[in-house]
């Protein structure tokens, strides 16, 4: 059996902002009734994060609970804890309509770090989403596209943002982020 590796093996780049591929990241898609007390409780239990409001992203360290749609959450846990989290979810939601799937190997994750306005400028080159701090505040997720591929973007804090995309598009998204971060390509939107 081969060892698991992330899409870009932790690649990093320093330009206007630092861009890095986050390596192996545990990700679970949980679909169900987000008003269900049992679903809300188990999602908070496996992540140790508060349940997010609409478009919210509550993340700290390697764990996170992100609102993806009216019936979908993205659960972030350390890669080695995915099987245990799925078991906990399955037990807690037994008999309740839901779907919990390990999507860790189907997604790639990138972190952008630097001055907040610089990160927003880099991302604004790639997405039609409104990235002004009032439109995309810290702790809120936006599902959008980066150039031609689907992605989700959120700010953990003003100087650190995360991007999640399909693993099959990881190299493409990496190229977009690096190119948009190249020194001398500043556009000054923010």
pLDDT digit of tens for each residue in the chain (190 aa)?
467 888 898 899 999 999 999 999 999 999 999 999 999 999 999 999 999 999 999 999 999 999 999 999 999 999 999 999 999 999 999 999 999 999 999 999 999 999 989 999 999 999 999 999 999 999 999 999 999 999 999 999 999 999 999 999 999 999 999 999 999 888 877 7
Q: What are phi and psi of 155, to 5 degrees?
A: -105, 125
Angle subtended at Cα 125 by Cα 123 and Cα 126, rounded to the nearest 5 degrees: 70
| pTM confidence score | 0.92
Q: What is the pLDDT of residue 185?
A: 87
Q: What are phi and psi of 11, to 5 degrees?
A: -55, 150
Structural contact between residues 67 and 56, judged by C-beta atoms closer than 8 angstroms: yes
Q: What is the pLDDT of residue 7?
A: 84
CA–CA separation, 99 and 144 (whole Å): 23
* Secondary structure (3-state) at 50: coil
* Secondary structure (3-state) at 7: coil
Residue with the two structure tokens 């980066």? 146
Q: What is the pLDDT of residue 2?
A: 62
Q: What is the pLDDT of residue 53?
A: 94
């Amino acid at each position: 059996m081969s060892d698991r590796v992330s899409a870009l093996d932790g690649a990093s780049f320093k330009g206007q902002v630092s861009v890095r591929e986050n390596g192996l990241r545990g990700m679970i898609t949980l679909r169900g009734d987000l008003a269900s007390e049992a679903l809300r409780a188990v999602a908070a239990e496996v992540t140790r994060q508060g349940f997010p409001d609409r478009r919210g992203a509550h993340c700290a360290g390697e764990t996170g609970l992100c609102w993806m749609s009216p019936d979908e959450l993205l659960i972030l846990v350390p890669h080695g804890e995915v099987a245990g989290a799925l078991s906990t979810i399955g037990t807690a939601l037994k008999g309740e309509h839901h779907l919990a799937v390990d999507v860790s190997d189907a997604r790639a994750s990138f972190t952008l770090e630097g001055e907040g306005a610089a990160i927003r400028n880099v991302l604004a080159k790639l997405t039609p989403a409104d990235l002004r701090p009032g439109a995309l505040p810290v702790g809120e997720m936006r599902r959008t596209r980066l150039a031609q591929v689907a992605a989700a973007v959120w700010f953990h804090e003003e100087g650190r943002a995360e991007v999640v995309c399909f693993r099959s598009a990881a190299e493409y998204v990496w190229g977009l982020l690096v190119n948009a971060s190249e020194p001398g390509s500043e556009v000054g939107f923010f």
